[in-house]
Structure 1
Amino acid sequence: MLDAAIKEQLAAYMQRVTLPFEIVATLDDSDAAREMHELLQEIAGMSDKISLRTDGDDARRPSFSLKRTGTDQSLSFAAIPLGHEFTSLVLALLWTGGHPPKVEPEVIEQIKSLDGEYNFEVYMSLSCHNCPDVVQALSLMAVFNPGVKTVVIDGGLFQKEVESREIMAVPSVYLDGKHFNSGRITVEELLAKLDTNSGAREAAKLSAREAYDVLIVGGGPAGAAAAVYAARKGIRTGVAAERFGGQVNDTLAIENFVSVMETEGPKFAAALESHVRAYDVDIMNLQRAAKLVPASEPGGLVTVELANGGTLRSRTVILSTGARWRTVNVPGEQEYRNKGVAYCPHCDGPLFKGKRVAVIGGGNSGVEAAIDLAGIVEHVSLLEYGEQLRADAVLVAKLKSLPNVRIHTNAQTTELTGDGNKLNGITYTDRVSGESRHVALEGVFVQIGLVPNTEWLKGTVELSKHGEIIVDAKGQTNLPGVLAAGDVTTVPYKQIIIATGDGAKAALSAFDYLIRTPAPEAANLQAA
């Protein structure tokens, strides 16, 4: 079942199991059940604290559950969790077996303090790089709170169930049979949705914090680099981020970050956070900035107001809020989002196996998406607004060699159509003939670039006509003590390696500002 290297690695992990637990499998005569049984036998043979039973009576077959002896733990997998979910399986086994998770103690306490019963079902695909975060978050909650029951379901293995619930995007989470969340969500975000009083408590704690020397808003590559460089100067550094890693979390393969031959976005994002945590940096996750209030005098405190009502103050601020997927802004896009309209081909592509889909966008992202999807779906229509595709020549050549792809240039998307429940087609105008055309299909993947996250800054920091923060060669904005870095700025070529360099530069510029700009009297700073 497992190759020798993976089996050896897994066996080493299983030696960390300290508490006995059992695996209860519900099997049938399918090939998938035989594959699952073989995997579970191998796992059970790696530790004398793990026992395997095959007399389960779960409604989903094949499936298996993990239960620590003497507890009411309820964590099940209606899946053979390999691929991107292999790490999720390993962690679930370790946590069930008593190995402590690498999670802040207050998060574990918040999980344990949840009252009531929560029955979660999370649908994922083994090729989805966003799914493991959600699977692991819900697994953690099931291990540490007996009131939380979690079932992890492979949409590809239980396709009829997926179709009956009209699930067209993963990860998709259901709570007590009702849709709860689509897309990536961390354990902290899950807890915030379940514990409705957590926002006010968090806001009060944030507002009470002392002022920083450098406050970084955004935790992507630029923000992480800025945090490392600032912390190494020995100055008080904080990072407020909606989600650490930013857009990198939604990137599958990274092959052009010099010195790293190949990695995946979520792994790279985790490495960024781990590097920052190695220094004395105050990381504040799940924090969305709502307003920037400039300092009243040079060297004074800049204030960042947060969406939850909290405030943070700092002598310098580095804005690195990054960018998000650009939308087409045509009728039907929002109505059928996650009902046929998708933005992550790696995550949601397997849900469209054997179906007809379209990709909007002829740049590298769009062409790469079309190439990947062509190996899964029946047919791909690629729509590009311009006269020709903008992707690298090697990618275009590969795309044109695929028999189940049709390229439409000079195609202006005008509507995404549906039956009220899910998408059924795309309408576009041929910009040469003026003719309106409709293509019947079941999925549309939007890949038309990024838009900077700067709406909250309008009226304060100077922005370009495209909404990017205007910066000089040192990363300085038009406001004293306010700098910016990464995809949110006017710096060209939105690449991870460029963002990290800009983040480092902004931190060095912030330090230079601090040593050259006298601070007002301490009393005045505290009053501010």
Structure 2
Amino acid sequence: MLDAALKTQLKAYLENVREPVELVASLDDGPKSRELLELLNEIAEASPKVSVRQGGDDARKPSFAITRPGSDISVRFAGLPLGHEFTSLVLTLLWVGGHPPKVEPEVIEQVKALDGDFAFETYFSLSCQNCPDVVQALNLMSVLNPRIRSTSIDGALFQAEVEQRQIMAVPTVLLNGETFAQGRMTIEQILAKIDVGAVAREAEKIKAKDAFDVLVVGGGPAGAAAAIYAARKGIRTGVAAERFGGQVLDTMAIENFISVPHTEGPKLATGLEQHVKDYEVDVMNVQRAAKLIPAREPGGLITVELESGASLKSRTVILATGARWRQMNVPGEDEYRNKGVAYCPHCDGPLFKGKRVAVIGGGNSGVEAAIDLAGIVAHVTLIEFDSQLRADAVLQRKLASLPNVRIVTSALTTEVKGDGQKVTGLVYKDRNSDEVHNVDLEGVFVQIGLVPNTEWLKDSVALTTRGEIEVDFRGATSVPGVFAAGDATTTPYKQIVIAMGEGSKAALSAFDYLIRLPGPDQAQAA
């Protein structure tokens, strides 16, 4: 099941297990159960503290519970947690085995103090790069608090259950049998949803903070680079981010990050956050900015109000709020989001195995999505507004070679159709003849680019008609002391390496701005 290299790595990791761990398997006579038993036995062979017991009575087969004998700790996986979820499996083994998690102490105490019974079920796919964060967060919470139960389910393996519960996007989390959340979430975000009063408590802590020299809004590549460069100057630096990593978290493969031939978005995002935390940077996660109030006079304090009701003050601000997936804005899109309308083919593609889907967009992301999906689904219809595809030639040649792909150009998507519960079709108009076409299908993957996260800035700084923050060659905006970097700005070519460079430049520009401000004595003399 595991190759020699992976077995060696696993054995090294499991040396950190301190307490006995028992893997309790619920199996049937199917081939997947045999594969799971083989996997569990290989895990047990890697550590004398891990044992396997068959005879579990869970209704989902194959599944297994990771337990600590003599305790109430029990975390369950339904299916074989390989692919992206193998890391989740290893971490859960370590935590159940007594190895301390790399989580802030206050977060651990918050989880332990939760009052109530919480039964979480998380549906994942092995190709989903967003799922491990959710699985790992809920598994850790289950280890820390015996009143929390976490079961992680491979949606592709339990297709009948997925159909019955109409799970059409991963990760999807149910709490006590009811839909709780969909999409990537950190442990802090989960706690904010279930811990009554957590947002208010955090807001009070933020209100008490002293003013910063540099406040970075956003935690993507641009924001992380800006924070590092500012902190290295020895000035008081803070970061307020809705989710650290930003759009990078939704990127599957990264192969053009100079000196790193290949990495994945979540891995890069983890590295960004760790690098920032190596410096004296005050990182405030799960914080969404709501309003920017410029200083009343040059050198005065700029205010950033947060949706939580708290506010932060700083002598300079760097805006690095990034971008999000652009929507089609047609009838049915919002109604059927996560019910057949999806934005991540890598995450949700396995849920559409053997079905018919459409991909909207003929750029690199759209064509790559169609190629990936063609290997999973029954048929792909790619719809492009322009008269020709805009993807790289090598991608177009690959797409054209696939027998189960139909390419439609000069087409305007006008509606997503459904039966009230899930997508059943799509309507598009031929831009040359105005003829309307209906396509019967079960999924629509939207890949039409990005839109900047700048709506909250429209009354504060100069924006283009597309919503991008106008910046000069130094990263300065129209407001003194406010700088910007990354995908939210007018800087062309939205690339990770460019965002990092622009973030670094913005931090250096902010520092230069600070050192040129008049001191108190000079201000009084003026």
TM-score band (shorter)? over 0.9
User: Counterpart of 1:121?
Assistant: 121
Task: Determine if the alignment matches structure 1 residue 434 to structure 2 residue 434.
Answer: yes
Maintained 8 Å contact 2:212/2:238: yes
User: Counterpart of 2:364?
Assistant: 364
Give the 3 Å change call, closer, same or farther, for CA 520–247 of structure 1 in structure 2. farther
Q: Structure 1: which amino acid aligns with 2:379? A: H
Task: Determine if the alignment matches structure 1 residue 447 to structure 2 residue 444.
Answer: no
Deviation digits for residues 243-278 of structure 1 (CA, Å, limit 9, x no counterpart) = 000000000000001111000000010011111111
Q: Structure 1: which amino acid aligns with 2:151? A: V
Task: Determine if the alignment matches structure 1 residue 472 to structure 2 residue 472.
Answer: yes
User: Counterpart of 1:320?
Assistant: 320
Give the 3 Å change call, closer, same or farther, for CA 88–522 of structure 1 in structure 2. farther
Matches within 5 A, 1:189-208: 189-208=189-208
User: Counterpart of 1:227?
Assistant: 227
User: Counterpart of 2:284?
Assistant: 284
Matches within 5 A, 1:397-412: 397-412=397-412
Deviation digits for residues 282-311 of structure 1 (CA, Å, limit 9, x no counterpart) = 110000000001011111110000000011
Distance in 1 separating the partners of 2:210 and 2:466: 35
Q: Structure 2: which amino acid aligns with 1:457? A: L
User: Counterpart of 2:516?
Assistant: 516
User: Counterpart of 2:456?
Assistant: 456
Maintained 8 Å contact 2:61/2:79: no
Distance in 2 separating the partners of 1:347 and 1:519: 53
Matches within 5 A, 1:173-252: 173-252=173-252
User: Counterpart of 1:152?
Assistant: 152
Distance in 2 separating the partners of 1:31 and 1:197: 47
Q: Structure 2: which amino acid aligns with 1:266? A: P
Task: Determine if the alignment matches structure 1 residue 11 to structure 2 residue 11.
Answer: yes
Q: Structure 1: which amino acid aligns with 2:371? A: I
User: Counterpart of 1:302?
Assistant: 302
Secondary structure in 1 matching 2:128: coil
Q: Structure 2: which amino acid aligns with 1:292? A: L
User: Counterpart of 2:89?
Assistant: 89
Deviation of 1:70 after TM superposition, in Å, equals 2.1
Matches within 5 A, 1:126-141: 126-141=126-141
Maintained 8 Å contact 1:300/1:519: no
Distance in 2 separating the partners of 1:522 and 1:60: 73
Task: Determine if the alignment matches structure 1 residue 488 to structure 2 residue 479.
Answer: no
Give the 3 Å change call, closer, same or farther, for CA 521–62 of structure 1 in structure 2. farther
Deviation of 1:30 after TM superposition, in Å, equals 0.7
Task: Determine if the alignment matches structure 1 residue 75 to structure 2 residue 79.
Answer: no
Distance in 2 separating the partners of 1:522 and 1:397: 66
Deviation digits for residues 82-139 of structure 1 (CA, Å, limit 9, x no counterpart) = 1000000000000000001111111110110001110110000000000000000000
User: Counterpart of 1:61?
Assistant: 61
Q: Structure 2: which amino acid aligns with 1:47? A: S
User: Counterpart of 2:347?
Assistant: 347
User: Counterpart of 2:392?
Assistant: 392
Give the 3 Å change call, closer, same or farther, for CA 438–279 of structure 1 in structure 2. same
User: Counterpart of 2:23?
Assistant: 23
Q: Structure 1: which amino acid aligns with 2:429? A: T
Secondary structure in 2 matching 1:100: coil
Q: Structure 2: which amino acid aligns with 1:139? A: N
Maintained 8 Å contact 1:169/1:348: yes
Maintained 8 Å contact 2:219/2:320: yes
Secondary structure in 2 matching 1:416: strand
User: Counterpart of 1:272?
Assistant: 272
Maintained 8 Å contact 2:357/2:444: yes
Structure 2: gaps of 5 or more residues: none
Deviation of 1:226 after TM superposition, in Å, equals 0.4
Distance in 2 separating the partners of 1:521 and 1:354: 74
Distance in 2 separating the partners of 1:370 and 1:51: 43
Distance in 2 separating the partners of 1:366 and 1:356: 16
User: Counterpart of 1:47?
Assistant: 47
**What is the TM-score when the length of structure 2 is the normalising length?**
0.98
Deviation of 1:401 after TM superposition, in Å, equals 1.0
Secondary structure in 2 matching 1:486: coil
**Of 64-73 and 26-35, the range deviating more from structure 2:** 64-73
**Of 88-97 and 393-402, the range deviating more from structure 2:** 393-402
User: Counterpart of 1:261?
Assistant: 261
Distance in 2 separating the partners of 1:55 and 1:39: 16
Distance in 2 separating the partners of 1:320 and 1:487: 8
Secondary structure in 2 matching 1:214: strand
Q: Structure 1: which amino acid aligns with 2:114? A: L
Q: Structure 1: which amino acid aligns with 2:212? A: Y
User: Counterpart of 1:103?
Assistant: 103
Distance in 1 separating the partners of 2:519 and 2:312: 17
Distance in 2 separating the partners of 1:210 and 1:69: 48
Give the 3 Å change call, closer, same or farther, for CA 438–16 of structure 1 in structure 2. same
Q: Structure 2: which amino acid aligns with 1:222? A: A
Secondary structure in 2 matching 1:134: helix
**Of 65-74 and 509-518, the range deviating more from structure 2:** 65-74
> How many pairs does the alignment contain?
524
Q: Structure 1: which amino acid aligns with 2:332? A: G
Deviation of 1:21 after TM superposition, in Å, equals 2.1
Maintained 8 Å contact 2:68/2:74: no
Maintained 8 Å contact 2:7/2:46: no
Q: Structure 2: which amino acid aligns with 1:265? A: G
Deviation of 1:519 after TM superposition, in Å, equals 5.3
Distance in 1 separating the partners of 2:522 and 2:245: 35
Deviation digits for residues 147-178 of structure 1 (CA, Å, limit 9, x no counterpart) = 00111100011110001111110000001111
**What's the Cα RMSD here?**
1.2
Deviation digits for residues 324-345 of structure 1 (CA, Å, limit 9, x no counterpart) = 0000000000000000000000
Deviation of 1:521 after TM superposition, in Å, equals 8.2
Deviation of 1:73 after TM superposition, in Å, equals 1.4
Distance in 2 separating the partners of 1:262 and 1:48: 35
Distance in 2 separating the partners of 1:355 and 1:489: 39
User: Counterpart of 1:330?
Assistant: 330
Distance in 2 separating the partners of 1:276 and 1:522: 35
